[in-house]
Amino acid sequence: MNLTRYAARRLAVGVLQVAGVACLVFLMVESLPGDAAVVLAGDQPDPARIAAIRAALGLDRPLAERLTTWASALARGDFGTSLVSGRPVTGIVLDALAPTAVLAGLTALILVPLSVALGVAAARREGGRFDRALTTVSAALYAVPEFALAIVLVAVFGVTLAWLPPTGLGGLSAAALVLPVSVLLVRPLCSTGRLVRSAMIDVLASPYVRHARRLGLGWFAHALPNALAPAVQHLARTVDWLLGGVIVVEAVFVIPGLGSTLADAVGHRDLPVLQGLALLFAVTTVVVNLLADVVSFRWAPRA
Amino acid sequence: MGATRVRYLLLAVPLIVAVAGPLIPYELVRSASFADVGLLGTDFAGRDVWHQVLVGGRTLVLTALLATAGAYLLGTLWGLAAASAPRMLDEALMRPLDVLMAVPSLLLLLVVAALAPEGVLVWTVMLVHLPDIARLVRACALEAGSRPAVEAMRLQGEGWWRINVGFVARSMARVLATDAGSRLTGSLYLIAAASFLGVGVAPDADDWAVMVDRNRGGLFLNPWAVLAPSLMIVMLAVGLNLTVDRVLKRARHAPR
């Protein structure tokens, strides 16, 4: 199969996935126990307000009609308006996008070269001191929840030593970014580093690399793409963690990004915002996975 | 060996606190918020932090265990059903899981927990693990199901349950066991993160993750109210993962 056909097939699957997620999000909101309007109206709902919310949400119309209205508005790029602030969802999301993009982008920018370097360095001498240290530390830190790690780091570097600002409240300066990005890095770095290491060990032991080394050829440039193909796939999966991590890290460091917006929307049951964000996150996940599949197919065509 | 002792110590301390903590009779200290009384001071509501640490681990550990076990039960049956079903049913069972996999796990947790009543955390974590487990089981079952032994059982007229659960599921127990360890740490991670974000738990629940969130405001006044539960969670995660990692390595080297 050539690259274009593979990419086209993956794209079709991706579009179906996004459509599926959109329906799923809609149905999840639909399956809210009782009536969404009653929940949204607050503790002591007054009938007029419930009726108003119901009309605003279009809850008085049949399910199929609501789904098509919602989907056609989505197709026009209209995500609806927030139930809490009355602002358009698109505006809310765009405002929150910048801090999250900085956090996630910076993390990814450091993550990729660092995890490859660590993995390759460990693989060069399997079972050596550096390899053992990396394997143990990465196994240890791999499953630590971000918030617990973040709090410990804040207590040490932000409060006791007072080297770094404990929150991002004073704006995202370079110093304020150090702790959040470090916390975000830990989990993906551990897993990707380990993966690169084991893939590199396998490739280094393969006949063609050993042969190239015996001949004194530049084997490294041949070994690396083959070792990185699984790592690229895995990096795509870490986007899932990165999004999860961003939600937690933004909450800990009080950064007004997508994660905080999501947490607020969940707290206020602001359904249109929730729907918009869920869709955005799902599309991001699907697109990144798609790109990763295509890249690793390009580097090491197999299927 | 020093490393082994550290590993088990890291795992044992939080586990013992979580399991046995609620059983220890304790003189409750009540005073102002973030006051410096007792062993570790008080929390945001003036409750004794040491007492909260003792009782706060049980839900976390139990929920993680329950969610992982439930996910395996459901995922195994799902995967087995898909593997032994005709092609159309197989597709119908597995395609919806692809959609589920496109949703970031913490997002799924947040949305479901926001829309549904309390106590839904276990179910959502199960839902997060379901696609991966079902896929793994299906792949293993397809391999095991094409063995001559299964063919023979089918010819003898054995039932679905006896062939699939009695033979196929048992033959892949080893693969599943190695997978289960890392899933348990995953559950622990998800549940702790969700509880920290205040999803699916009462705002004043006796829970390490909730303690960390609620007492954050007093980080300067009584750091132990935040640090003690954080350290418990970190130790539990590190200890559990090191142990799982060790077991996995042993299993890989053991003769089959």
Cα–Cα nearest to A236, from A112, A140, A122, A119: A112
* B183-240 residue pLDDT tens: 888 888 888 888 888 776 777 777 888 888 878 777 777 778 788 888 888 888 888 8
- The stretch A209-227 carries a mean pLDDT of 75
A217 pLDDT band, cuts 50/70/90, is: confident
* Torsion on CA atoms A147, A149, A153, A154, rounded to nearest 10: 10
Compute the average pLDDT of residues A105-132. 84
- pLDDT at residue A200 above 60? yes
Question: What tokens were used for A198?
Answer: 């084991």
A17: tokens are 């996935």
> Inter-chain contact A145–B116, Cβ cutoff 8 Å?
no
Distance of alpha carbon B256 from alpha carbon A225, whole angstroms: 33
Question: Each residue of A42-89: pLDDT tens digit?
Answer: 666 677 777 777 676 666 667 777 777 777 777 777 777 777 777 888
Answer yes or no: is pLDDT of B255 > 60. Answer: no
The residue with greater pLDDT, B134 or B38, is B134
pLDDT of residue A141: 81
Residue A121 has pLDDT above 50, yes or no: yes
Looking at residue A303, its pLDDT comes to 45
Say if CB B186 and CB B106 are below 8 A apart: no
Highest mean pLDDT among A39-53, A175-189, B240-254: A175-189
**What is the band of A301 on the pLDDT scale with cuts at 50, 70, 90?**
low
Percent of chain A surpassing pLDDT 90? 0
Percent of chain B past pLDDT 70, that is, above it, reads 86
pLDDT at A36: 57
Q: Measure the CA–CA gap between A248 and A146, rounded to whole angstroms.
A: 7
**What is the Cα–Cα distance from B48 to B45, expressed in whole angstroms?**
9
Chain A with chain B: Cβ pairs closer than 8 A: 149
Contacts for A242 with CB less than 8 Å, ≥ 6 apart: A104, A107, A108, A184, A188
Give, to the nearest 10 degrees, the angle between helix A3-30 and helix B87-101. 80
A138 touches chain B (CB under 8 A): no
Check CB contact of A38 with chain B, cutoff 8 Å.
no
Question: Among partner residues A31, A160, A248, which is closest to B193 by beta-carbon distance?
Answer: A248
Q: Give the distance from residue A135's alpha carbon to the nearest chain B alpha carbon, in angstroms.
A: 10
- pLDDT-based confidence at A32, cuts 50/70/90? low
Residue with tokens 């149905």: A27
Q: Quote the pLDDT of residue B256.
A: 43
Read off the pLDDT band of A300 (50, 70, 90): low
Residues in chain A: 303
Q: Answer whether B241 sits within 8 Å of A142, measured CB to CB.
A: yes
Strand partners of residue A88: A81
Which among A160, A266, A201 is positioned nearest to B227, based on CA atoms?
A160
Quote the Cα angle for A28-A34-A38, to 5°: 105
- How much is the pLDDT for A1? 64
SS3 of B222-254: CCHHHHHHHHHHHHHHHHHHHHHHHHHHHHHHC
pLDDT band at A150; cut points 50, 70, 90? confident
The alpha-helical segments, DSSP class H, found in chain B are 2-20, 49-55, 58-84, 87-101, 105-115, 121-145, 148-155, 160-161, 169-171, 173-196, 208-214, 224-253
- Name, of A13-22, A79-88, B40-49, the range with top average pLDDT: A13-22
Q: What mean pLDDT is reported for chain A?
A: 77
Inter-chain touch B234–A144, beta carbons under 8 Å: yes
Of the two residues A32 and A224, the one the predictor is more confident about is A224
B3: chain A residues, CB-CB within 8 Å: 136
